[in-house]
Chain A
């Protein structure tokens, strides 16, 4: 469990290539204190810098302004799920997991593959699995790292409804048991409300924080309950101003929750 602070984070990408004429600012003056053990979800329209924020926290982006302040100035142990599965193509799934852990973690790795519903895939090569299965293997890898800080970039995207719900419940269980601090990026408001202890929305164009709301509700959460429904309504109202790609992704969330979000969320 670890907390940290983002201090005045801004990120500009210089113009490059014939299509881009001006530099693009994705994040602007983002200052946040992430409490130890929080489950923070960042939502926002495409291209607003959500993934860039995760990369900055992970130490993979060096072109930003501002500072990520860690306790005792030490970067914690990080587990990360990237947008792409990023499995080593010539290593079997189990070897991909063990690459980031000790060889003695084998039993644990197999258990995590069961947890993400990939039993019997341990000896397969990544290319023998579908894209969705590879993503779940990447999730198992991130959990195996026993991270102090878990960074998730759309970890449950492109899963069918029931599987997504089961995996959400397991992710919450993992979070409650292992108590890592989690920063997750998603397009899916329902997922954000179902999982997080705090949701942050980034505004289009400005790249500033448009909404920062704690969700002090117990798990499992039900979307029919007034608090959840009201937050979902608030997020959807916010998303009305977002540029084109967002509504289609939001309707994806709608589809998962059924009629007007009234279906019970089993998480």
Chain B
């Protein structure tokens, strides 16, 4: 009976999907009820008040500007982190000596608090854009490297041997044999990375940039403007979820297509 139920799970998926909207509405209701109970519109604004505040910021243009600035930082730092982290991860995954020597460094980097990297980058390189991007990249790249290392370790030895015997060029092996095998790790690290990156970017902006969502949140913190803080955060969450749904997931489906063909 249990087994049959377990086997039925895929067919029940549409039912679960239908629960998504009620679940989201339940969260809004919970928020509304809490706000009414707390009864302090400054400390805990209602969803409606937050929406009104967000709309006001949207109309004035400062929300869009901050979103654009922060998103640009996220994209640049994310790009650097993916490229550098992948290169390090693949190198460590493919070379046992390299992993033996530098694997420990990676463990240290993975456990370095983001705040420390950010503060050090600002102290060493000044309150500059370069320091900000560098700090985010240094925080994010080790996570990418760790995931890519696992992917590179699991490369199909038999296929690599085969291309070696036939003398296939390095570029062709990379393009047609290695990268397709690394794609799942790459996507996994990209998804894990996107959420992490924007959170760190906010801290970087809060501590040392004159614009962006993080900077605005600090400003609102100084003026005790909770509704604006929530409105800015929710706007950015919406954008990150949109990137996830319309960019990450389609790419993931594309790379996995051969499995189900």
Contacts and interface: CB of A to CB of B under 8 A. Distances in A.
Interface in A68-88: 77-80, 82, 84, 86, 88
Contacts of A80: 162, 165-166
A79 B159 contact: no
A68 B202 CA distance: 61
A208 B159 CA distance: 31
A182 B100 CA distance: 41
Contacts of A145: 166
A125 interface: yes
A18 interface: no
Contacts of A127: 261
A78 B177 CA distance: 19
Contact of A60 (B159, B165, B172, B180): B165
A91 interface: yes
B168 A90 contact: no
Interface in B144-174: 158-159, 161-168, 172
Interface in A89-107: 89-91, 95, 99-100
B165 A59 contact: yes
B176 interface: yes
B211 to A, nearest CB: 44
Contact of B167 (A78, A82, A91, A151): A78
A128 interface: yes
B166 A78 contact: yes
Given A89-B258, A125-B258, A84 B158 contact: yes
B164 A91 contact: no
A90 B165 contact: no
Interface in B231-261: 258, 261
A58 interface: yes
Interface of B: 158-159, 161-168, 172, 176-177, 180, 258, 261
5 contacts: A80-B166, A82-B162, A86-B161, A88-B177, A95-B176
